[in-house]
Amino acid sequence: NPATEQVIAQVAEAGVEDVDVAVRSARKALDGEWGHMKASDRGRLLLKLADLIKRDEEELVMLESLDSGKPVSAIRRQDLPAVIDTLVYYAGMADKINGQVIPARADALTYTVREPVGVVGVIIPWNFPLMIGMWKMAPALACGCTLVVKPAEITPLTALKIGELALEAGFPAGVVNVVPGFGKVAGQALVDHPDVDKVTFTGSPTVGRQILQGAAGNLKRVTLELGGKSANIIFPDADIDAAVKAAGSGIFFNTGQVCSAGSRILAHADIYDEVVERLAARAKSMRIGDPLETSTSMGPLVSEVQMNRVLSYIDIGRGEGARVVTGGARATDKGYYVQPTVFAGVEHEMRVSQEEIFGPVATVIKFKDDDDALRIANGTVYSLAAGVWSADIARVHRFARQLKAGTVWINTYGPTDIRLPWGGARDSGFGREHGDMAIENFTEPKVVWINTGR
């Protein structure tokens, strides 16, 4: 438990042999009952799983909070509703995965069908274990795939619970296999396995590159959702109150452990000091404490390793000449808490402006005009998300077009929906999750050509 540093559970560590057993189990299910099940029946099983998650919601909230340090209020408000919404959405899509009749020639009936890609390796990150896990599992199951799920080694508990609920819901044995273990062993074995057809991964760019290398062995398909260093741009004509409130949520939500966190807050020179002052006030007002208390707004970082990483970046920022306006230190003696931190005087080229910190550290960067804002916003190796705050309709449309980001929020920051594509490019990965694009991730198109004669 990152809030108390106490051990809360012992979990079996999957090795290479365990992963092989799980993959063979998934293949057997794919070739058996699951592979012959009607699509509408798959949808009904997803709905049943959603009902069981609602029934056991409090247990799942507690497990997620104890395991990751997330405040229970945030899990109830965002994570659990998103999990259920995802299941219901893809349950309805299961029997609507259609092909096309394409009149290629007069003497043939030619059409396409979409078939399951096969056995899918699902590698879940530790920052949103339940929510991101279901973002991957639900569409794959709707498409008729079978799964081998590898949760992060520091947050495995809710994945194990979902595995139990899947069996209770009536999913045939072997459809959902959960293999908790370390990335370098269980994760690598899953990526390297010749009978895994697809890997979907959310995590760091470093691990994403390793997965690509491993996937080359049998040319398995890969979807990668990786890091971010997202710019949140505030112009003088914006609603400053709303912009700063959203900027605070955009970097301090989930203790900054969000791939799309608005970690670079770009403020126009005319309002720079005001934005820094207001953001610092919001940081100081954050209620840091026990994640199990409903009044807590910010919990600990997920692990001692992550805490030390964040603290080291704060030291780097100081060394580069940035100024800590508030925060900048460990918040408690016990638990992996770091004070919400605001840096001012940040230059675009500094490491704290270029590298993903993945913690509650806001860097506020001054810009002089639209071109300067675009230069800074697009000047990293990431391209996952961005935000723009302005009342100028022409400006926001121009920025929406010119920003290198998979998602651009205008006069808001951070909302997602399972119906909208999610993903980025460059070091933010490739491919898109959510919506009907997820159906493309987990299916293969097949052409059928029937000779009809003249």
Whole-number Å distance between alpha carbons of 359 and 127: 11
Note the helical H segments in 38-187.
39-55, 57-68, 72-74, 80-93, 129-142, 157-169
**Cβ pair 176, 163 in contact under 8 A:** yes
Q: HSE on the CB side for 54, CA within 13 Å?
A: 12
Q: Do 350 and 320 meet the contact criterion of CB atoms below 8 Å apart?
A: yes
H or E segment to which residue 265 belongs: strand 264-268
Strand ranges (E), 294-434 = 323-326, 341-346, 361-367, 385-389, 407-410, 429-430
Q: Which residues are catalytic?
A: 225, 259
314, 342 contact by CB (below 8 A) = no
Q: How far apart are CA 108 and CA 448, in angstroms?
A: 10
User: Between helices 129-142 and 157-169, what is the axis angle to 10°?
Assistant: 30
